Copies of this chain bind each other. A is one copy, B any other.
Amino acid sequence: MSEPGPVALVGVGLMGASLGLALRERTDVETVIGVDPDHATLAQARRRGAVTDSAPLCDAVAGAGCVVLAAPVTTLPALAAEVLAASGDTTLVTDLGSTKTRLMGAVGGHARRRFIGGHPVCGGEHSGPGAARADLFVGATWFLTPGEEARADLYERLHRLVGAVGAHPTAIGAEVHDHLMAVVSHLPHMLAAALVNHAADSAPEGREALRSAGPSFRDLTRVAGSNPELWADILLDNRAAVLDASSGLRRGLEAVEASLTRGDRGALVDVLARGRAANARLRAPLDPATPSAVLSVVVPDRPGALSAIATALGHAHINIEDLSLRPGPPGGVGVVRLVVAGESAAEQARVVLAARGFELDAPTDVEELG
């Protein structure tokens, strides 16, 4: 891919530095400018080759084609405002934060055309640029939360950049994102801490429970090794959804306890069997490669139309493998060419888009693919 101008990484810890390595190894981005308040972190990111240059924030973002905010969630609203003010009209600004609603709400006015939220669902046990890996994003879902005003060309640019580092870009509404993450990420982090603390506090007849933990317990509590300050802020930022998920889980646990109390083996087997089935769905190998299918959709001449198309497909779990804008008739209307995995996904996409009033262009000849 050809990136217009340098990429600026604001924050070069594990995530930022990994993105720097990935951009330098997997794309033709030549200049990656690192920004970080911590000089040692920045120096380490340079030594690792994660950034080619470093600069103060304003200088770094002024000429950048894309600015990625890779900083703690609490800092993002102010940082986004600062970066959007200091960067030019063609600069895309995005972030890697674990929560999206508050940030998307904080970006105001004209800046909403250039800001598209992002969240790659991946991470590592260790923090800092020393733990950075160019393949950190390979195979990961990378959520994108374009607002209604997001510019189509900038969305296309971000989609390609995310795909180029090996992730699957998936458009989603910010609030839906935060509810999903409360269930599959934020609650599990909170739960792992509660579980390992419970074991650490348990010592029947003075024998410490934690010293008898086997491999399965270690699997369950691995994420308890995450940074406490960062995670306290993530939980607070998504408080309502996390509380909702936590009380839902507690009710589920109480139901299992009730089955256990009344010795209801059938109910216990049922809950464990449902868990096993869900677990199997979670680990199911991806479908064998199906020939890609292409569909072309007319993008109406209004802000956010491409975002709406991508979000509708993301919501329907249709993975967009590639996305490219083509000029349309005069008046600013374009056509977006979407590549999806297989003809049945394409058919499902046509139904979803037609239901939302989008006009499908004449079917593209499959020969054209490549």
Contact = CB atoms under 8 A, between A and B. Distances in A.
A273 B228 contact: yes
A329 interface: no
A222 interface: yes
Contacts of A195: 187-188, 191, 249
B280 A263 contact: no
A121 B269 CA distance: 22
B278 A122 contact: no
Contact of A188 (B205, B217, B228): B217
A116 B53 CA distance: 67
Contacts of A192: 220, 275, 279
Given A184-B209, A261-B243, A218 B272 contact: no
A254 interface: yes
Interface string A1-45: 000000000000000000000000000000000000000000000
Interface stretch (A173-181, A302-310, A335-343): A173-181
A333 interface: no
A254 B250 contact: yes
A28 to B, nearest CB: 28
Given A220-B192, A246-B253, A200 B274 contact: yes
Contacts of A273: 228
Interface stretch (A107-115, A153-161, A231-239, A354-362): A231-239
